[in-house]
């Protein structure tokens, strides 16, 4: 007689509870807790990762739904990566018309910190919250690698934890990651210091002037192609001088937003 397999519930370790909110991670009082919303569209695949990154950075993640225009009193918004609506028409072109995006656009114009990661960056350009556009990678292939970025602007709501000229390593994975704009727009971005991150060592997708991330005039809206939410926890991020999978550079993005929100209160 075949014996039944032991229950997995008895053999798997029980996960430790994660700290909740800014109070747990940063020693802040309950009234200082920062709420960061993470939007889910049909086809989004990094929303849970972004929520976890927000929590590990010390804020309270708030799930937001694309069809719900209510931002539920969040202090900042992350538009995560993925393939919203299957990238039909153009990456981000359909998501730009979601109910939540009208509210996000109004909030962004009012100064709310908004971060667009990969597909989120594409959505921000389609929504005209950031200039330029994203097209197929120059080599026409999907690419996935750990990418070194140089910080060009450490004064935005999402980059203040870094220093100008600092090199950070952030995982990159995209197919439509080539940032393009006309020369006048590129010159304006450069002149106004609105290039926030630049690819270092190698341009992985043909983006104009090695641009990996940009910001709006106010510095509260930032879009970039690499994924900081994948560099926030030992054992799961990129390699660093400290060892394999120890890179935590992604935390700086979310901690910057927390500090920006608290400074504005």
The token pair at 42 is: 């049909």
Give the active site residue among 118, 126, 152, 230.
Answer: 118
Give the active site residue among 126, 161, 227, 233.
Answer: 227
The token pair at 140 is: 């026409």
- 115, 158 in Cβ contact below 8 A? yes
Beta bridge partners of 17: none
Give the active site residue among 60, 126, 229, 233.
Answer: 229
What CA–CA distance (Å, rounded) separates 161 from 21?
19
What CA–CA distance (Å, rounded) separates 104 from 107?
5
Instruction: Tell me if residue 57 falls in helix, strand or coil.
Output: helix
**66 noted as active-site residue:** no
**229 noted as active-site residue:** yes
DSSP 228: G
Q: List, edge to edge, every strand of the sheet that includes 76-79.
A: 60-65, 35-40, 76-79, 114-117, 221-224, 211-215, 195-199, 143-151, 167-174
Residues 6+ apart with CB under 8 A from 178: 134, 135, 136, 137, 138, 205, 206, 207
Q: CA-CA distances (angstroms) from residue 37 to 32, 125, 153, 176, 232?
A: 16, 19, 24, 25, 18
**164 noted as active-site residue:** no
- 137, 206 in Cβ contact below 8 A? yes
- 195, 222 in Cβ contact below 8 A? no
Residue positions annotated with a catalytic role:
118, 227, 229
């Amino acid at each position: 007689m075949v014996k039944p397999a032991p229950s997995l519930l008895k053999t798997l370790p029980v996960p430790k509870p994660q700290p909740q909110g800014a109070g747990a991670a940063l020693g802040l009082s309950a009234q200082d807790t920062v709420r960061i919303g993470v939007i889910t569209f049909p086809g989004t695949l990094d929303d849970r990762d972004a929520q976890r990154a927000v929590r590990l950075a010390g804020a309270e993640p708030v799930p937001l739904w694309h069809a719900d225009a209510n931002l539920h009193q969040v202090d900042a918004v992350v538009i995560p990566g993925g393939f919203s609506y299957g990238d039909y028409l153009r990456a981000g072109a359909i998501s730009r018309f979601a109910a939540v995006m009208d509210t996000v656009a109004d909030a962004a114009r009012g100064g709310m910190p908004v971060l667009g990661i990969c597909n989120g960056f594409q959505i921000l350009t389609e929504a005209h919250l950031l200039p330029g556009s994203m097209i197929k990678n120059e080599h026409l292939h999907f690419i996935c690698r750990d990418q070194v970025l140089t910080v060009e602007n450490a004064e935005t709501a999402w980059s203040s934890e870094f220093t100008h000229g600092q090199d950070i390593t952030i995982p990159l994975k995209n197919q439509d990651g080539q940032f393009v704009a006309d020369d006048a727009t590129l010159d304006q971005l450069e002149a106004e210091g609105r290039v926030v991150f630049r690819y270092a060592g190698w341009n992985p997708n043909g983006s104009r002037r090695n641009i990996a991330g940009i910001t709006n005039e106010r510095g509260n809206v930032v879009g970039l192609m690499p994924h900081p939410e994948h560099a926030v926890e030992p054992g799961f991020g990129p390699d660093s001088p400290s060892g394999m999978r120890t890179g935590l550079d992604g935390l700086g993005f979310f901690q910057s937003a927390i500090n920006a929100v608290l400074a504005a209160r």
